[in-house]
Structure 1
Amino acid sequence: MAHQFDDETLAGVLGHMNSDHTDDNVLIARAFGPGDAVVAARMTGFDGDGGDWVVTVVGDEATLRVPWPGGPISERREVRREIVALYDESCRRLGIEPRPH
């Protein structure tokens, strides 16, 4: 069973992703989901196995589950590492130069 993070961790990460990294959410959704048709994406949750997004594609919403690249995690500090890894892999898949971390 996947590790479940506490409400404070969930709120902190989701708040940060959905206010400071909206473009990264779209990038991840395009790379791991339905591609260029994605017009918006919002991170809605995560656990020790991966992250969850609601993806808007031309007016329709769908859910997207993306496993963590490094495998299962169980500590808050690992969440950032895995989201950065998703961002880097998204850039690689889409042929985009990643910004420095």
Structure 2
Amino acid sequence: MTHVFDPEVRRAVLAHMNVDHRDDNVLIARAFGPDAAISTAEMTGFDGDGGEWIIGPEAEALRVPWLGGPIAERAEVRREIVALYDEACRRLNVTPRPH
């Protein structure tokens, strides 16, 4: 069964991603979504199996599974988002910033 994170955890992670990591959201959307030219992406949710974004001008839904498999702890959310970012950079040939 998919782990559901506490609403406070979800709010904090989503606020952080959508305020401090807007460009990371776009990189993830470009690398894992249907169009490498996507210019907008907002993280809208996540659970123990993956993250969710709304991407592009048509506001398409994008779900990306966590690369390390299912998770259940708040600290694992950061680890998995960083893994998605790193993989997005690799796929798009972008030099990742240090973590």
CA separation in 2, counterparts of 1:97 and 1:22? Answer: 17
- The equivalent residue for 1:82 is 80
Q: Which runs of 5+ in 2 are unaligned?
A: none
**Distance in 2 between residues matched to 1:86 and 1:77, nearest whole Å:** 15
Which shows bigger deviation, 31-40 or 7-16? 31-40
**Cα separation, 2, equivalents of 1:79 and 1:38:** 24
1:60 maps to which of 58, 61, 80: 58
CA shift, 1:81, in A, is 0.2
RMSD: 0.7
- Deviation of 1:36 after TM superposition, in Å, equals 2.5
1:35 corresponding residue in structure 2: 35
More strand by share: 1
Secondary structure in 1 matching 2:40: strand
- Give the gaps of 5 or more residues in structure 1: none
Matches within 5 A, 1:17-36: 17-36=17-36
Measure the CA separation in 1 of the matches of 2:47 and 2:82.
Answer: 16
Which whole-Å deviations, capped at 9, do the CAs of 1:31-61 have from their partners, x for residues lacking one? Answer: 00023331100000000000000001xx311
SS in structure 2 opposite 1:37?
A: coil
Match of 1:14 in 2: 14
Question: Normalized against structure 1, the TM-score is what?
Answer: 0.95
